[in-house]
Amino acid sequence: MDNYNTPTLKKELANYISGYVDGEGCFCISFSKREKLNIGWEVKPSFAVSQNSDRRQVLDLMMKYFGCGFLRRDYGDKTLKYEVRSLDELLEKVIPHFLAFQLKSSKQNDFLLFTEICKLMKDQKHLEIKGFKRIVELGYTMNGSGKRKHSKDILLSNLKMKI
């Protein structure tokens, strides 16, 4: 970030990053079966940006800019991914950036749904049946409802809290 040491340069970088993310980034909510949890499901929000590893400069820059997250190799599609998965970091570092420097494609809608889910999670709503159902409804309208491991019906069927 040493090269972006004035407010003007920082703002230019911020707009550049929003443009890059509008193309290559993803705001995702995934659901994993976790029998040990009261509700039986874990809700996992993540922000990820992919890039071929021979062009990793922007991912390094983004990690420095946001001051959180990590890089990992995705052996599936042979890319390098910059990811933020911590709810607190998403709420405190990632989401405020995209509220200030908005996406210009319809990915903005996904971002707003993502933000709403993260806020519900901050309020622990994902640990209650009503809140969890709301999160599933919101999550399943994101990203064109692309490939999903679990159907919405499976997530919502037979929900009951353990005592």
Closer to a copy of itself by CB, 100 or 161: give it.
100
Sequence-ordered list of residues with C-beta below 8 angstroms from that of 81, at least 6 positions apart, any chain: 48, 49, 50, 51, 59, 71, 72, 73, 74
For position 40 contacting a copy of itself by CB under 8 A, the verdict is no
Output Rg (C-alpha) for the chain, integer angstroms.
17
Query: Minimum Å distance from CB 158 to a copy of itself?
Result: 34
- CA contacts within 13 A on the Cβ side of 159: 19
Q: Which of 75, 144, 153, 157 binds a copy of itself (CB under 8 A)?
A: 144
CA of residue 32 relative to chain centroid, distance: 15
Q: Which of residues 57-96 bind a copy of itself (CB under 8 A)?
A: 57-58, 61
Contact status: 11 vs a copy of itself (CB under 8 A): yes
Is the distance from CB of 83 to CB of 69 less than 8 angstroms? yes
Least separation in angstroms between residue 80's CB and a copy of itself is: 12
Binding site for a copy of itself (CB under 8 A): 11-24, 51, 54-55, 57-58, 61, 101, 104-107, 144
